[in-house]
Each structure stands twice: as C-alpha cells, then as structure tokens.
Structure 1
C-alpha cells in the first residue's frame, strides 16, 4: 500500500469511528464473588468431615454412645434393652429349633430377665419372624402375657458343615409391637 491509497482510505472514515477509537475503554473489573462461595463450601465440608470422623470414632469406642444413639434412632418398644450374648449361646446343634429350645430352657432356669419367664404349656409357643441363610429372628410367648421375647440367632461356620445355630441376643418387647411385627409377615 502506498501513501496515496492510504490517504484515500483514511478520508473515507466517518467521524463516529474516529471518536470511538479515541475514547479510552476501561476493562471491567474481575469479580471474585464465586471464589467466596468456594471458600465457604470448603469450610463447611471440612467441618462436616471432622464431625463425621469424630462421630465414627465415638461410635466405635464407646458402648454407652452406641446404646444412646441406637435408642434415639430406633426408639425402644420396651424399657428392656437388647442383651447381647458374648460368644453366643451354643448348643452344638445344626437345628434352629433345638438351639432355640435349649436357650429358652436356660432363659427360664437362670431367670435372665426378672419377672419374665417363657411360656411352656405344651412346648414353647413361638413365631419365626424371618429366617435367612445365616440369621433368624424369633418371637416367643412369655408370662406375663404383656411381654414377648425377641430372640436373634445366627448360623456360625463350623468345619465343613452347613453351620451351627447360636443365640446372639435377646430382648423383652411389648405384645403390641410383637403382634405388629407378626402381622407384617408375608
């Protein structure tokens, strides 16, 4: 491009273009508002993680905390707590019913719960709530009739067999709750 062509091109420019080119444009300020929200979210996440770790540690270490949390999340249907049996009540039987009956005899003989005995008129009166491969829940009639006994059983591996049944926990529950559970069975 020579000077003549450049001069002709410049003469064809309108004045609004020239004014616009002369005006100084300021860049928009960079807004960091999103950065504030990220910092707040990170702080909240850190607090939640610390609370979860503290909660998990307390739950694992303290039996009192576990019991309190369990009773809060799953309200008790009775004033009796779930009694766990260390090492389970073993009979050396592969039969669920045999293990249950042996435990119920022990329950009555040793009076594991004051004022409550398992009803045994013509054998024990019980209902299996659920039975899976490795666990079962059974409700047993008691004296007084306002109480029922919930027995939790598990099958433990034993040498090359199907496994031995054992009672791992029991709890006295009220008859209304027990009847509701029985009524919800398929």
Structure 2
C-alpha cells in the first residue's frame, strides 16, 4: 500500500522532458532487432549489463539501490494490470500483457533501501551528496542509456527504467506474433 501511495505522490511532481536516446529512426540501434528481443524470457543481455553498471555506480555513490522488477512474464503483467480493475487495490500499471517493455526484458524498476526497508522516496538525500538519491539514480541511469519513466508526459512512472533500442511496443508485438518486425 505504501508503494501505491508513493507512486501517486510521485505522479504529482513536474519533471523536465528530455530526448530519449534511440527514440527516432535515425537513432535506432541496428544491432538489436525485435526478433532477437522477443526470443528471450529474461532481461536482454545489454539491459542486464546496464543494470549491473547502474548498481555498481549507485554503490560507488553510497546509494543503496534495489532492482524490484526486471523481465515480467505476461501472466505477472496481467496480474498487475488487474489491480484496481478486476482485482482489489489501486491501479499500478496501464499496460496489460505484451504492452510493457518489461514483457520483452527491456525494462527494470527500482527502489532505495534504508535500514527500515525499501522506499520510493524521491526527495531524501540519504547519502549526503546534496541531491536526492532517487534523482541521482535517474541521472546515472540516463547516462548509461536508460529512459527514465519520470521524464514521461502524463503518467510518470518514477521507478521505471527502460532501453527500447528504438523499438516500439507495436514492433515487438508484431515480432512476437509473426516472427517478423517491419
């Protein structure tokens, strides 16, 4: 319940929009195809590598970072999508199965760890650097190549990081369904 309240509070914050690496046809990564992505049931190797780099760099800044979600099965995605709809609780995602980059191993979610447990606190400077740890993590992640959900318009997903490699959900769905992507 705390997580849901934290997400609701975070969505009220206004953040700047940044250009998303790989978001245009010219920036698309030619080494990553939709077909290769949909053939995996785990984090994409490049996302896994970036996740490990994020954890190393956060630790170097004395930030206790925890990855709370990575690859998400379609069953798990539908379970989360049902929350606040056909199941109890608050809405936690706007994506059903195969509509999330998590389903293709291209996204992770994070939280911060304190002595009291996991927190989704975007304002506290736990490491004493002068900047909130949550935002330090987002900055590190973007430097590594992740897109941060806190930069999105509309629903801002502050714990969410993804690497799309310029691939849209539609392209990934098509590759999954037909084995090809346009």
TM-score normalised by L of structure 1: 0.27
Please identify the structure whose Cα radius of gyration is greater.
1
Kindly indicate which of the two structures has a greater share of residues assigned to helix.
1
Kindly indicate which of the two structures has a greater share of residues assigned to strand.
1
TM-score normalised by L of structure 2: 0.28
